[in-house]
Amino acid sequence: MPAVETDQASVRLDKLRQLEALGIDPWGQRFDGRTPIGEIRLLEPLPFDDANPQGQRVTAAGRIVRHRTGGKLHFLELWDQSGRIQLMIRVNKVSELEWKVLNLLDLGDIVGVSGEFGKTKVGELTIQVDQLTFLTKSLEPHPKDVFGLGDMEYRLRHRYLDMIYTPETLKRIQQRVKIVRTIRNHLDDQGYVEVETPTLHAIAGGAAARPFDTHHNALDLDLFVRIALELPLKRLLVGGLEKVYEIGRVFRNEGISPRHNPEFTMLELYCAYGDLFSIMELTEGVFGACVDVLGLGKILPYGECQIDFTGPWPRVLYADIFRQTVGVDLFDEVGVRTAATDNKIHLELRDTKAGTSTPKQHEVLVHELFEHLCEPELAKSHQPTFVYDYPAALCPLTKRKRENPKLAERFELYIAGMELANAYTELNDPITQEATFREQLTGMNADDSMAKMDDDFVRALRHGMPPAGGLGIGIDRLVMLLTNTTTIRDVILFPLLRPETK
RNA sequence: GAGGACGUAGCUCAGCCGGUAGAGCAGCUCACUUUUAAUGAGCGGGUCGUGGGUUCGAUCCCCACCGUCCUCACCA
């Protein structure tokens, strides 16, 4: 007895050949007149009555995701991006050719159908098919969806299957689109203009992160892929755009975690004549619009907790939360060093390559203490909280407070322990800007410094940038928060994975 | 970068003390004109991530590598 061909892909290829033998194009043609399944499901479902058909005629197209065969009666489920619906196909309702095609269908094939919409005896919304059009053959077996897709790697390497068989995935994609569109509408309504600025930068400024390097051959020029949108947008403020924003991809050559992907999407906006506090209100407005568009009320679940987005949100001073949590004053250098030692924070930065170590500057220690002690404290409440007035040394692009130049007018928005937004009253004094670009924080890795001399940017400021407020929002984290998603990989369609090696 | 866990059929997963592999679904064949994870009968399907080692014998123990996940570090 010859070996039976059992490989599922081969079986499917064989069915493709059989379709061709029947004169069917296995890759299909234009198919007009379909209605999304989600809309069909809203029609009035009348019970089927052969003698007196009253149901509405509908046409749909999509993927076969289930197939219950009977002798002369088949039930299938058809899936499209708007939903699923049952198909009922009876032998005496379709042509002989269509019946042969039906018996060659595999899970994952794409078909178009027309027929009467109604409900079966048990009340299931159904299309009783009288026209079956084959549209696309699937040559690979699809995962059986009954128990869902469990393996993260499989889901990420086959995102297209994840979209079909893990309903939450498609839903999150759709919600992300809604959220981003809502942000654009909200800003456009307030007179903001959206722009696109370069991705390739000669100087990777605007944030503290390691950039990706690249090279332009014709100019023989080393370049970086942008790590932030900030500096080009502020040049546009100089140029007279008063309310400007960009939603764009930025790239940071750093670790990957449930909250970090090497490329992610940022919103940055700048508002001439605004400041830190006008930006707080704007931020509440943007978040509020996004929360509203989901239509789930003002209180959304995130993991174990409930987040109440009703504004205005609490505003707490960095210095206050520092004093309360760490127990010493922000500017108490001795106290801070003691607290750092007590909390096992190293007072020196060791450069293992150079074999040297440098004592860390006061503000670096302050912020390490803040991250170790204050951020967990902030995470306990889960509720949106603005933390503002940061140590100036940590903020080279931020305007100093007039009454205390050791503080800068910066806030970060914390929700559920995540940093969701970062905003400044923008530094528009070119003399101070040049000085902060020159000042390297001592005890901080040079790669990580936000202070990178950018003469061209300083020159722009020297021509006069209006006082302004600026805001950055991590769109991926915002979508995570609003869609109750705990890993950034599930709000990014194709997060970075190592390529498979055969 | 450090530590931990995992990798078995198309998918989801079992596999005990080391004795050469199992289930459900999917696939194939047959039956079935109202199913809902349809049902009934039967049949196929595996380089147990890769490469070494120990052993009479390795999916199982050891080492290395590859990949994924988690925690930490990094991300001021």
As a whole number of angstroms, the distance between CA A307 and CA A282 comes to 19
pTM: predicted TM-score of the whole model, two decimal places: 0.92
A491 Cβ contacts chain B strand, under 7 Å:
no
Over range A243-265, report the average pLDDT: 94
pLDDT at A4: 39
Question: What nucleotide is nearest A396 when CA is compared to C1'?
Answer: B76
pLDDT at A1: 24
Does residue A3 register a pLDDT over 60? no
pLDDT at A127: 97
Q: Say if strands A418-425 and A407-415 run parallel, antiparallel, or are unpaired.
A: antiparallel
CA A106 to C1' B58, in angstroms, rounded, equals 39
Please give the protein residue whose CA is closest to the C1' of the nucleotide B37.
Answer: A146
A170 Cβ contacts chain B strand, under 7 Å:
no
Residue whose structure tokens are 């009954």: A146
CA A336 to C1' B55, in angstroms, rounded, equals 61
Over range A230-253, report the average pLDDT: 97
A88 Cβ contacts chain B strand, under 7 Å:
yes
CA–CA distances in Å: residue A252 to residues A216, A224, A339, A498: 19, 10, 32, 16
Please give the protein residue whose CA is closest to the C1' of the nucleotide B50.
Answer: A502
Going edge to edge, which strands form the sheet with A385-391? Answer: A193-194, A243-251, A263-272, A468-474, A418-425, A407-415, A385-391, A315-317
Question: What nucleotide is nearest A119 when CA is compared to C1'?
Answer: B34
ipTM: 0.90
As a whole number of angstroms, the distance between CA A164 and CA A174 comes to 13
A442 Cβ contacts chain B strand, under 7 Å:
no
CA A69 to C1' B23, in angstroms, rounded, equals 23
Q: What is the pLDDT of residues A431-449, one digit of tens each?
A: 999 999 887 666 666 566 6
Nucleotides of B under 7 A from a protein CB: 1, 10-13, 24-28, 31-39, 43-45, 66-76
Over range A347-362, report the average pLDDT: 69
Q: What is the pLDDT of residues A126-139, one digit of tens each?
A: 999 999 999 999 99
Confidence label for A281 from pLDDT (cuts 50, 70 and 90):
very high
pLDDT at A487: 92
A368 Cβ contacts chain B strand, under 7 Å:
yes
As a whole number of angstroms, the distance between CA A218 and CA A213 comes to 16
Q: Of all helices (H) and strands (E), which one includes residue A378?
A: helix A375-381
pLDDT at A5: 43
Query: Where do the DSSP E strands lie in A81-204?
Result: 83-90, 110-119, 125-136, 193-194, 200-201
